Amino acid sequence: MKIIVGTRGSKLAVTQTNWVINKLKEKHPEVEFETKIIKTKGDLIQNVSLDKIGDKGLFVKEIEQQLIDGQIDMAVHSMKDMPSNLPEGLKFASIPKREDARDVLVLKEGYSSINDLPNGAKVATGSKRRKYQLLKHRPDLNIVSIRGNVDTRIRKIVDENLDGVVLAASGLLRVGLEDKITYYIPKDIMIPAPAQGALAIEIRENSKDIEEIINSGKITSQKFRNGTNIPKNTSEKINSLKDKETEIQVAAERGFLDGINGSCHIPIGAYCDVDGENISLTGLYGDEEGNNLITKTISGKASEAREIGLQLAKLISKEYERYEG
């Protein structure tokens, strides 16, 4: 059997895809995998900031279309790039354990934290969420726009005389650039993007054979070699491409994203803490100019994660409407 896996061509996207493929090969060495690089609209337009391109799914639409058309069999995405609703006929097959969800600062030599930066320091980001939360904490900073992959953005610290850039911790950690991280920004200063740090493995709804390969452990017997019975939940435990806590977090945060009807035009953030059967969800929403950033936290049952996200979106939307009125 051969499975064609679609991905973007950036170093991070390919690294993430190879990680998924290697995990699948460990369980299913008999399956052949082929990687197909697909350019998306977000990849092709590099000279315009994301909020000005004005489209949902900038980094996934072309990949999803090839999945729908049968040109690829599965796709690996950064979950934060996924629109709140998937196209008809597609689904998430699995959500692996989340990497660190925080944002980080990569700073010019001599600085060690956000508080070390001098007045008027030039910090680059392509995200309104990051920009306006930085300015809320440090109104004196000079926030400039930036595009490009991880390596390009880091290189611009020297090339464009920046004092620092803001990036997702998960991206740097996955490509082995953790030594570049100067400062992990606390979530009480900067709420991450919904589902930041999580991966999405997307397939067609009718691809039952591929879903089984993704979600099954390599178990061909009901007993271990010593003759003892294998516990019923063993396949879940050895399935490194499925993580229950991450699934809960993603359900809550994407529920908020869906309820708030967000886009890259406006600052939106969400992070869910899981504590056993309970969750605490914090959401961020604001206007395009960053004049009004609303942050709220609510709690509830982990089993109702998506509903908690939708509920938080309603509460924040009502407060925002009062502000607008």
Binned at pLDDT 50, 70 and 90, residue 56 comes out as: low
Q: C-alpha 27: how far from its chain's center?
A: 25
Q: Which residue has the tokens 């991280």?
A: 181
Token pair, residue 192, equals 């991450």
> Quick count: other Cβ atoms within 10 Å of Cβ 272?
28
Domain spanning 244-324: CATH 3.30.160.40: yes
**Helix 11-27 with 150-159: angle, nearest 10 deg:** 150
Q: Where in the sequence numbering do the catalytic residues fall?
A: 81
Compute the C-alpha angle 80/82/83, nearest 5°: 120
Token pair, residue 316, equals 């924040």
pTM: 0.88
pLDDT score for 261:
82
**CATH 3.30.160.40 residue spans of the chain:** 244-324
Mean pLDDT score, 167-194 = 97
Binned at pLDDT 50, 70 and 90, residue 275 comes out as: very high
Mean pLDDT score, 147-157 = 91
DSSP states of 194-220? TTTT-EEEEEETT-HHHHHHHH--S--
Is residue 64 within 8 A of residue 202, CB to CB? The reply is yes
Is residue 74 within 8 A of residue 94, CB to CB? The reply is no
Please list the residues that pair with 39 across neighbouring strands.
none
Mean pLDDT score, 17-36 = 95
Q: Domain 103-184 is in which class?
A: alpha beta
Is residue 51 within 8 A of residue 128, CB to CB? The reply is yes
| Contacts for 62 with CB less than 8 Å, ≥ 6 apart | 38, 39, 40, 41
Percentage of the chain beyond pLDDT 90 is 78
pLDDT score for 55:
57
Mean pLDDT score, 31-42 = 92
**CATH 3.40.190.10 residue spans of the chain:** 2-98+198-238, 103-184
Domain spanning 2-98+198-238: CATH 3.40.50.1440: no
Query: How many angstroms separate the Cα of 41 from the Cα of each of 136, 142, 184?
Result: 31, 29, 30
